[in-house]
With several copies, the nearest count.
Chain A
Amino acid sequence: MVPLVAVGSAPLDLAALTTAVLTGSVPADAAAAQGTGDGAIASFAGLVRDHNLGRRVRFLEYEAYEPLAIRAMERIVEEARAAWPSARIGLHHRTGRLEIGEASIIIVAASAHRGDAFAACRYAIERVKQIVPIWKREHFEGGDVWLEGAVADPDDTAARQKAYKIACA
């Protein structure tokens, strides 16, 4: 079975993750949760762009602290379930060298209604950027640089509220 949360170097597969979210990733869940009450799926994919901050990007390299990244992503799944009980999400993040146009992350949210699906999906990507220990090194024409965003702190309630507000706005 495809897991709901994964970090690895294989290309990402949105259709497979969607099936996992709709049917439940654990075989025992599948009978109970056929996903037939789901009326909406919202998905997100992050792609490698060919430019950033005026630089021409050649490719990106993603590095993860995998066991902690998995835990942080599982935490995001639980946070989303608490905020939108009818929604279920799955997220996969890729590592290693990614070429222009390839997906670095995919997120799928399923729910009875579209409002919760969109909100849970948006919340998840905002939280990934806040607390998941993954880094990208940008290889551009002329050099390379590690990009740095948020200082990860899962207990920072202000950051969590910010993600929630963006998702629900």
Chain B
Amino acid sequence: MRVTVRFFARLRDLAGTGELVRDVAGPATVQTVWTSLVSEMPSLGEYEKAMSVAVNAEYARMAAPLREGDEVAFLPPVSGG
């Protein structure tokens, strides 16, 4: 299945893009996608312990299952205000 991946802030810089599309074999979770991305771009790995994720613009857990067409976002620690 095909999912859209979004990166923000420094994760976007590390990935070199704010958005990309990946085909993953189902059943897949956020973790599946993340693991695949880190093997592709190892520098992302430093965020694994200090990151939030969202699916379709709702906060989610790494174990959240994904469906065709989902948007998965990887978020560094926030610094708004």
Contact = CB atoms under 8 A, between A and B. Distances in A.
Interface residues of B, number: 21
A68 B58 contact: yes
Interface string B41-52: 000000000111
Interface in A13-46: 46
Interface in B64-81: 73, 75-81
A132 B80 contact: yes
B8 A135 contact: yes
Contact of B76 (A71, A148, A155): A148
Given A133-B8, A133-B52, A137-B9, A67 B78 contact: no
B13 A146 contact: yes
B59 to A, nearest CB: 6
Interface string A136-157: 1100000000111111111100
Contacts of A146: 9-10, 13, 76, 79
Contacts of A108: none
Contacts of B75: 65, 133, 152
Given A46-B81, A148-B79, A150-B77, 9 more contacts: A63-B12, A64-B80, A71-B58, A130-B78, A135-B76, A135-B80, A153-B52, A153-B59, A154-B59
Interface of B: 6, 8-10, 12-13, 50-52, 54, 57-59, 73, 75-81
CB-CB nearest 6 A-B residue pairs: A134-B80, A135-B9, A148-B77, A67-B57, A146-B10, A147-B79
